[in-house]
Amino acid sequence: MKFKICFMAILWPILSAMAQQSSPLKYRPLAIGDTVPDMEIRHLINYPTQTIRLSDFKGKLLILDFWATWCSPCVASFPKMDSLRKVFGNKLFILPVTDQDEKTVSSLLTNMQKVKGLQGFSVVRDTVLRALFKHSEIPHYVWINERGIVSAVTDGEQVNQSNIQKFLNKEPLTFVMKNDVKRRFDTKRPLNAGINAINVEDMINYRALTRHVEGFTPFLSFKAPAGKPYEILGLNISAQRLYQMAYGEFWPSFMNNFNRMVIESKDSVSIKGPLGRETAGPEAWGLWMKQNTYCYQLIISPPDTGNIFRYMREDLDRQFPTLQASIAKKKGKSIVMISLDRGKLPHTKGGQREVADNKYSFHLQNAPWAFFRSKLQTYYLQTLTTPLIDETGISGNVDLDVIANMSNIAELRTALQKYGIDIIEAERDIDMIVIKDRAASQVPQKAINVKLP
């Protein structure tokens, strides 16, 4: 019996250490002011070592950069973070962290080096750091001071040379902290859910409109499952976004950017915001969001699902009786993909369908050309101020391999020329969503904006 006790006394510390090392649950989530426990961080790629310890960064500012390959602002920040490392040398270390797998991350980093000449690195398959620093949105930056104390949590705008220098000089922190506490929205329940929650399965038709709800992440979606109810859901969405959905009917050419919209209203700020988030600043933008965004849900059951966008337009007419919207032809500048050589246009040799893309590459095998066009319109070129129009005449499935910065028109143009495709700027008559003030004589006399809770 004494032997067993002595044996366990020797073995227990070993087993305990092994259990702690393999489980992120031994650490509680950290907040500003907490000391970060020393731990081993594994699964680094494109870095001299595959593991590091947080204690390796004692004596310098450590910024954890939580990111993902599908997050455009995250990927766009890699050159900026690399420049900051060079400016501050051994006073600063910025560590990219993602929970994605090595293959996905390595593909983007390899193509980024080919296109940008920048060799990035990252922690992959992370679970521990994400558990320590809980967040709902990325990019997400955690500032840890030279003594290993969590000092700030910010978005990417705050990670700049001026703020870092002030931090290193121990000047008072004046930049905006990131508030990442989000309420959960249960998509199986309507917006007015509570103790009287109504099951979606029991609904025939349903619609709800509320003012801004603090905590919901802005979100807009359209679901159209065959033979089941269709649903439009918007959380903390501007009037501009609501009109975009109602009149664009979720077509890629209209969605995800506003270059197919024209606002001709004297009160355009309440519709679309104060010149954009970057120009207005986070505080002014946050105040505008609280005063001018809405939560909207519309559920329509068969056989009436085909009318869902018409019903949404009627709801907007009731909520905004002084505005009117329509689809109208407008002549203007466009970015146009055209065919230079039909003999070179992409086609498919068949085989298994493959679709893979990131910021610096796009691969299709026996997959629809529309995948490529739609992803450009709705994601990679979403910041274009002019519409992207496809006049190549390509249809059906293709094989395509493009290595370029997918958000750079010049690089895309060069990469597509081997397929007999060019990208030009030209004037076109384009269908646009036009929002304007309704003539006073056309405003219903009894029309009022309903005061919602």
Ordered DSSP codes for 132-143: HS--SSSSEEEE
Sign of the CA dihedral running 269, 273, 279, 285:
positive
C-alpha torsion angle, residues 33, 39, 44, 50 (rounded to 10): 150
Sign of the CA dihedral running 301, 305, 309, 314:
negative
Q: What is the pLDDT of residue 451?
A: 41
SS3 282: helix
Residue 145: which H helix or E strand, with range? none
CA angle 378, 384, 386 (to 5 degrees): 105
| Distance between CA atoms of residues 361 and 111, nearest Å | 7
CB 320 within 8 A of CB 412: no
Q: What is the pLDDT of residue 181?
A: 64
- Nearest Cα residue to 397 out of 360, 352, 358: 352
CB within 8 Å of 317: residues ≥ 6 apart: 324
Place of tokens 């390899």: 110
Q: What is the pLDDT of residue 276?
A: 63
| Distance between CA atoms of residues 45 and 109, nearest Å | 10
| Distance between CA atoms of residues 38 and 147, nearest Å | 11
pTM exceeds 0.75? no
Sheet containing 61-66: which strands, arranged edge to edge? Answer: 44-45, 122-123, 92-97, 61-66, 140-144, 150-154
SS3 52: strand
Residue 447: which H helix or E strand, with range? none
pLDDT tens string, the chain, 453 residues long: the values are: 444 334 444 344 433 444 333 344 466 889 999 999 998 999 999 999 999 998 899 999 999 999 999 999 999 999 999 999 999 999 999 999 999 999 999 999 999 999 999 999 999 999 999 999 999 889 999 999 999 999 999 999 999 999 999 999 999 878 888 877 665 667 776 666 665 556 667 777 888 899 999 989 999 999 999 999 999 999 999 999 999 999 999 988 888 778 899 999 999 999 988 876 667 777 888 899 999 999 999 999 999 999 999 999 999 999 999 999 999 999 989 999 999 999 999 999 999 999 999 999 999 999 999 999 999 988 999 888 899 999 999 999 999 999 999 999 999 999 999 999 999 999 999 999 999 999 877 776 554 444 433
Q: What is the pLDDT of residue 192?
A: 62
234-268 burial, b at 16+ Cβ within 10 Å, e below that, comes to bbbbbbbbbbbbbbbbbebbbbbbbbbbebebeee
Place of tokens 């085909």: 306
Q: What is the pLDDT of residue 416?
A: 97
Q: What is the pLDDT of residue 183?
A: 57
CB 268 within 8 A of CB 239: no
CB 297 within 8 A of CB 208: yes
